[in-house]
Amino acid sequence: MDTKLQHKELFKLWIQRKGNHSNINSELAASHNLLSLYTMEATTLLLLSAVIIAAFLFLSSRHPKKMRLIKLTEKLPGPTAYPIVGTALPFMLVPRHERLKLLEDHMKTYQQIYRIQIGSVLAVNVWQPEHAEALLSSMKNLDKSFTYKFLHSWLGTGLLTSTGQKWHTHRKMITPSFHFKILEDYVEVFSEKSKILISKLQKEVESRGFNVYPYITRCALDIICETTMGTPVHAQEDLESTYVSAVYDVSELTVQRIVHPWLHPGFLFKLSPCGRRYNKCMRLLHDFTDKVWNGTAYYCGKISEIKRTFTGKKKRVAFLDMLLDASEGGAMLTDEELREEVDTFMFEGHDTTSAGMCWALYLLGLHPDVQEKAYQEQESIFQGSNRSVTMRDLSEMKYLERVIKESLRLYPSVPGVGRTLNEDVKMGEFTIPAGCMVHLHIYFLHRNPTHFPNPEKFNPDNFLPERVAKRHPYAYIPFSAGPRNCIGQKFAMLEEKTVLSYMLRHYRFQSLDRRENMKVVAELVLRPENGIRITITPRVTGTK
């Protein structure tokens, strides 16, 4: 039933309760007029908002700093900008999976660097190693681009989204949480959850093909919840995870908001269908983290269970435990700051690793020769044993590590990063002014033929030590680089090695979709729009 009919029916009931049946038609007409007036007022409000925004943008463009920014960026090549939408119009008109191809066309047209405009926001797109180094190595240009603000309602201002002194302080406090000895403690969790994954996949052995992505994602969610909060959530028992679905929706909606400039103001976004759907997702995401949070020893007040040492036999230490002990100059993280960091690591720690593992499985499934070589490495380490993985085992998986790195080259979990410049940066013949936003497209950076001959070919030997030594240090940065590189990259590599080790030792797998047929969606995380379809065949494993 549409809104007008609902209003009429409700008004009719109200009249009936009043007993005034004779005036129903006139009252309904009045209701209809009120509804029309309401619609007109809403339309007027939107038009007025558009006028106010346009006036604000015009006045702000007259500011001396903005005029300098415009003058310098106008020297760069780039597509035509239109009123209100800037250069975003083509991205509004194509399906999600075609936006990456549209970006690729721009890269080919403008070669190394070009300017864009999202609404009134000026930005520069780059994808060369030299430009990446100039941007990411700076200690001055550490602020994320304005688009990260769209995640504040979810992640607050944790490590991913914070800037300035807060970021510096939190980074320094959190870094010890990823010490080698602590990561070693997590390997046990990686193995436990990988074993559950292997058992869950048994039901797919006779199938003609299935989407492995949800299985890997739930395994990664199990891992991150237990290592972050010390709380098992049994995600692999939940076939339809509302948390995972909400994460995917938020990723899509955030990009929708970015490419539609009129959705940038918060109050207009909330009025839109996208905004209402986004808020629903926020409730689901926060309900999930609340449930996990409420199960921790910290929340229950059992601080004595959290204060542990790293000597002798000990209980497993979670990331939250480390945060509780973290301090800088005697200052501790507040409850709100703890929640922000936990939310951030739960999102980043499961979504990016899920993508990394799934793309690696996909590529191994397309290249049986590489898969066999990776399997033989596992056999040489485990000798047919079904024992759990150890840190020493992981350090011996040299070939598997090269497979993962090459997978992350072709399909980096985070396809790009953004910065807002605090000072001018020289990139080739151009000066990119302070105040400008810079997008670094890691997906295209990794396809530079100068550093990766035949860049579309899957070749783990790209990461032989002698080849790595000859490459530009910023030619391969799946975990970003510089001061704001990913703090959890060692965690991610150990997790991915562990899960893939179990998959290789228990199953042969074959991918069912050719690369040219894959619909790749580049949003917060690079993922296949329709999942990863594979078949699996059990291997004969030992019982040692």
| Binding positions for heme | 486
Give the strand pairing for 507-511 and 425-427: unpaired
Integer CA distances (angstroms), 517 to 97, 164, 364, 483, 514, in order: 11, 43, 17, 37, 5
388: helix, coil or strand?
A: coil
Answer yes or no: are the C-beta atoms of 406 and 460 closer than 8 Å.
yes
Answer yes or no: are the C-beta atoms of 194 and 327 closer than 8 Å.
no
The DSSP line for 161-192 is T--HHHHHHHHHHHGGGG-HHHHHHHHHHHHH
Nearest to 66 by CA among 327, 542, 433: 433
Give the strand pairing for 437-441 and 121-126: parallel
Nearest to 62 by CA among 146, 123, 143, 120: 120
DSSP character for 79?
A: P
In whole angstroms, give the CA distance from residue 251 to residue 352: 12
Q: Which two tokens stand for residue 18?
A: 């009043």
In whole angstroms, give the CA distance from residue 345 to residue 122: 30
Which residues define the annotated binding site? 486
3-state secondary structure 450-473: CCCCCCCCCCHHHHCHHHHHHCCC
Q: What's the farthest any 2 CA atoms get from each other in the chain? A: 92
Backbone angles phi, psi at 155, to 5 degrees: -105, 0
Nearest to 317 by CA among 195, 189, 193, 192: 189
In whole angstroms, give the CA distance from residue 57 to residue 50: 10
DSSP character for 203?
A: G
Q: Enumerate residues 6+ apart whose C-beta is below 8 A from 245.
A: 284
Give alpha helix (H) positions in 230-272: 242-259, 266-271
In whole angstroms, give the CA distance from residue 416 to residue 526: 9
Integer CA distances (angstroms), 433 to 110, 317, 381, in order: 19, 45, 53
